């Protein structure tokens, strides 16, 4: 499994950092976790054809996690050269994709094209997944990648995702509460299999809060990637200080373009 961090910023685009999006590659199949970045250009820059996309998964209904879908939808749906593209977008409640059609094409009659039950001829198919069970709710399994959602409490309909493929297990926490009281138990539970990688946020949490190292240090993972980082609140020096506190977990600060293979 290969993770390419397409966008690692929080809230707003920063210099050299788009909003959240990670490309997950399993063999020849491509998946996206959050689409806050201009992923169409970013995929083209990497010579990844849109037809290799097998699914996109949105953690929660904040714009910096899904706004890139607007341009991707326009590009993929409007041009015949992308007729071979077909993939689902799994999004939580709270995002009105029906309005996307009017925004892009100004055709209110086309509303139904972006409702949950999209007709099969649409290339990008939007699916709403319901709020997950605390024990985990499976939302996707194509035989290559399995995605299980876990509720977190950042805003209503917020989720962490467990991705499983090729015998590897990765958790994306999505956005969390500042005090990390919703840090997903699937990461820390000694009754669960250890993880190969955790990608957590640093937009809301304060890495210098006294309790933060203890909470993140309970992660049962080899590597902890800090992404979606607010540089003013959590400068790189705090990531480095955290790394010292929670050894032997390897702590990595993500940047746009970073690739991690597990």
- Contact set with Zn ion (CB under 5 A): 62, 175
Pick between residue 40 and residue 175 the one whose CB is nearest to Zn ion. Answer: 175
Cis peptide before 248 (omega within 30 of 0): yes
Pick between residue 77 and residue 175 the one whose CB is nearest to Zn ion. Answer: 175
Least distance in angstroms from the C-beta of 51 to Zn ion: 30
Pick between residue 175 and residue 256 the one whose CB is nearest to Zn ion. Answer: 175
Least distance in angstroms from the C-beta of 106 to Zn ion: 29
DSSP state of 113: G
Least distance in angstroms from the C-beta of 225 to Zn ion: 17
Least distance in angstroms from the C-beta of 9 to Zn ion: 12
Pick between residue 154 and residue 169 the one whose CB is nearest to Zn ion. Answer: 154
In this chain, which residue has its C-beta nearest to Zn ion?
A: 62
Least distance in angstroms from the C-beta of 45 to Zn ion: 26
Least distance in angstroms from the C-beta of 202 to Zn ion: 12
**In degrees rounded to 5, what are phi and psi of residue 188?**
-105, -15
Q: Tally the residues of the chain.
A: 262
**In degrees rounded to 5, what are phi and psi of residue 119?**
-65, 150
Full DSSP string of 29-56: EEEEEEE-S-HHHHHHHTT--GGGEEEE
Which run of H or of E encompasses 186? Answer: helix 185-188
Pick between residue 76 and residue 199 the one whose CB is nearest to Zn ion. Answer: 199
Where are any strands of DSSP class E within the chain? Answer: 2-7, 21-26, 29-35, 53-57, 87-92, 124-129, 137-141, 146-152, 158-165, 168-172, 195-202, 221-229, 250-253, 259-261
Expressed in angstroms, the distance from the first to the final Cα of the chain is 6
DSSP state of 173: -
Pick between residue 123 and residue 159 the one whose CB is nearest to Zn ion. Answer: 159
């Amino acid at each position: 499994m290969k993770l390419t961090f397409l966008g690692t910023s929080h809230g707003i685009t920063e210099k050299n950092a788009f909003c959240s999006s990670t490309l997950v590659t399993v063999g020849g199949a491509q998946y996206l976790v959050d689409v806050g970045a201009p992923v169409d250009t970013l995929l083209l820059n990497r010579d990844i054809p849109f037809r290799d996309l097998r699914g996109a998964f949105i953690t929660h209904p904040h714009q910096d996690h899904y706004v890139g879908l607007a341009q991707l939808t326009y590009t993929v749906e409007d041009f015949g050269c992308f007729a071979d593209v077909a993939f689902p977008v799994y999004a939580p409640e709270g995002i009105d994709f029906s309005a996307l059609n009017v925004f892009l094409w100004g055709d209110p009659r086309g509303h139904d094209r972006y409702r949950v039950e999209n007709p099969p001829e649409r290339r990008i198919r939007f699916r709403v997944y319901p709020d997950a069970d605390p024990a985990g709710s499976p939302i996707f399994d194509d035989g290559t990648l399995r995605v299980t959602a876990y509720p977190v409490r950042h805003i209503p309909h917020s989720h962490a995702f467990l991705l499983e493929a090729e015998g590897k297990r990765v958790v994306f926490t999505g956005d969390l509460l500042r005090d990390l009281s919703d840090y997903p138990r699937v990461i820390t539970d000694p009754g669960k299999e250890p993880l190969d990688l955790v990608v957590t946020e640093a937009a809301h949490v304060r890495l210098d809060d006294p309790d933060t190292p203890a909470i993140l240090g309970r992660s049962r993972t080899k590597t902890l990637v800090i992404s979606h980082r607010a540089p003013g609140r959590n400068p790189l020096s705090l990531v480095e200080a955290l790394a010292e506190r929670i050894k032997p977990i390897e702590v990595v600060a993500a940047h746009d373009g970073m690739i991690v293979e597990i």
